[in-house]
Amino acid sequence: MGAYVAVPESGSGPGMVVLQEIFGVGGYIREATERLAGIGYVALAPDLYWRIEPGIAHEHTEAGMGEAFQTAQQLDHPLAVRDSIAALKALRQLPEVTRGKAGVLGFCLGGTLAFEVAVQSDPDTAVCYYGSGIPEMLDRAKEIRCTVLFHFGGQDPYIPREQAERVCAFARNESNMECHIHLDAGHAFDNHEAPMFHQPEPAGRAWAQTTDFLARTLPA
């Protein structure tokens, strides 16, 4: 399984696994790893489509989205969770990662996978951006031992508002969880490569909340 890795200027730091959207590890996900490296993290984005075909990266267009949905339907989801956990273990072993500390951050498909990694494994922290599979797996959230941050869009056509509110209601009663519903945001609002999704204002707000959360839960 290949991966894109970004290292901070300092040469070391805690690790963050970055889990892809349905488009694959393209320019947007690589930029997200660089963004994390810019604030002090050794970031690694595994190619979770490698079992289908290594290096798949669909364009962030209407046509590319159709192709991405087709590829995502071929993904063996339980194996993708296992691959994500393997990526976390591999990241912790890199000499650049300080004290073997590493978390996970995912967008869309990756947001759901990040939640499942937190359930099934031991990341030091987790950030889940608009993971559509999370509400239906909420009964497993009690198994999570690390800190978790959830982001949802209040106008997301793929995740009904009431489902996002259910996750946030659960998180309010858990000392290790935080949840934000960005009322002015749709789906994939952080994705600056997808004109049909990107919304700069909620994206900037969510990223500020994410960096604050990481500074508290896995400081670089």
State the residue for tokens 């590319």: 64
Indicate which residue of 156, 179, 180, 182 is catalytic.
Answer: 156
Task: Indicate if 60 belongs to the active site.
Answer: no
Q: H-helix or E-strand containing 172?
A: helix 161-172
Give dist(CA 8, CA 101) in Å, integer: 15
CA-wise closest residue to 111 among 123, 121, 92, 126: 126
CA gap 168, 179 in Å, rounded: 5
CA distance linking residue 103 with residue 147, whole number of Å: 10
Of 43, 26, 25, nearest to 34 by C-alpha is: 43
Let me know if 108 is a catalytic residue.
yes
Amino acid identity for residue 182 in this structure: H
SS3 143: helix
Of the residues 58, 151, 182, 187, only one is catalytic, namely 187
Catalytic site residue from 47, 108, 179, 190: 108
Maximum distance among all alpha carbons in the chain? 43
| Residue 187 a catalytic site member | yes
Q: Which long-range contacts (CB under 8 A, 24 or more apart) does 77-83 make?
A: 79/51, 80/48, 80/113, 81/113, 81/116, 81/117, 81/120, 83/1, 83/46, 83/48, 83/50, 83/51
- Active-site residue list: 108, 156, 187
